[in-house]
Amino acid sequence: METRELTVVAGSFVSFQLLFSVASPLLSSAIAPGYGRLPHTKLTEWNSRLVSTVHALVVGLLCLYILWFDDDVNANPVWGEPGLVKLNVAITCGYLLYDLVLLACNWRTMGDRFFVCHHLAALYAYGYVLSRGVLPYFANFRLLSELSTPFVNQRWFFEALKFPRGHWMVVSNGVAMAVVFFLVRIAVMPSYWFSVFATFGTEEFDRLGLGAQVAWITSCIALDILNTIWMYKITRGCYKVMMRRVGGGGGGGGGRKVKDGAEESSSPPDGKCVNNHTD
């Protein structure tokens, strides 16, 4: 791994930690009056999610730029010039390391084995990108999944501030969350795996070596399984909410129980990947 990438990883780690500890409390207090009234555990998660959203926007927008304008990466998905992709991956690795430390320090309230599996699988695969500069197109394609994270985090912010679940902003964000999550994490699977299979048996694929091949394929399988589980939870929650509305659930106790259950079941691992993602 080159000095530039190591510097970016370290700088990313420190920057996200400062954003969590210093910038987020100041910014959140200024724009969200309810922030200061949250209990300590929710304050920690709020700051974590704000950091997650910033990371997702930075990385996701850079991914789109690379996908649209980096001809070298798109022309040779296995061995294309990885300069910008390595920069983006280094930012993400710094974020993942920061988030793992945060999870370890707050395991009782924030710990989740899915988050840990997601982060470790991503770090394992991205280590090859940083150290050898391989698979830039596929690494960049994976990071596109971060574009769903801001919507997932915003759902949690609305809930923490006790916005009514029928509020138009909450409903609009919920629809956007489900649609974008599906588009960038599920709908792209056939196209992604078609591109993967197209490299099998080629000289570029053979040059990777067994280690990189195993890291690439196994991490992708693991991440797609996790994304499918999370999409299932979102879909199930949306279905229950829709059925309750169709059934004309009013303000009775039974309706409240179904609504609360739907909200719980629709909660994916919000933005820790989104995450993905950081996939």
Would you list the domain boundaries of the chain? 3-277
The pLDDT assigned to 125 comes to 82
- Residue 61: Cβ within 10 Å count: 13
Token representation of residue 88: 């983006």
Q: In this predicted model, what pLDDT tens digit does every residue of 49-63 receive, in sequence order?
A: 999 999 999 999 999
Q: Are 255 and 206 in contact (CB under 8 A)?
A: no
d(CA 22, CA 58) in angstroms, rounded, equals 19
d(CA 152, CA 180) in angstroms, rounded, equals 10
Alpha helices in 111-249, H assignment, sequence order: 113-132, 136-143, 149-160, 168-181, 189-199, 203-246
Q: In this predicted model, what pLDDT tens digit does every residue of 200-248 receive, in sequence order?
A: 989 989 998 898 898 889 888 988 998 899 899 888 877 776 676 666 5
Token representation of residue 67: 């996908």
Consecutive H or E run containing 277: strand 274-277
Point out the residues of the chain with pLDDT beneath 50.
249-267, 269-279
Nearest Cα neighbor of 106 from 48, 37, 56 is: 48
The pLDDT assigned to 168 comes to 85
d(CA 241, CA 161) in angstroms, rounded, equals 20
The pLDDT assigned to 247 comes to 63
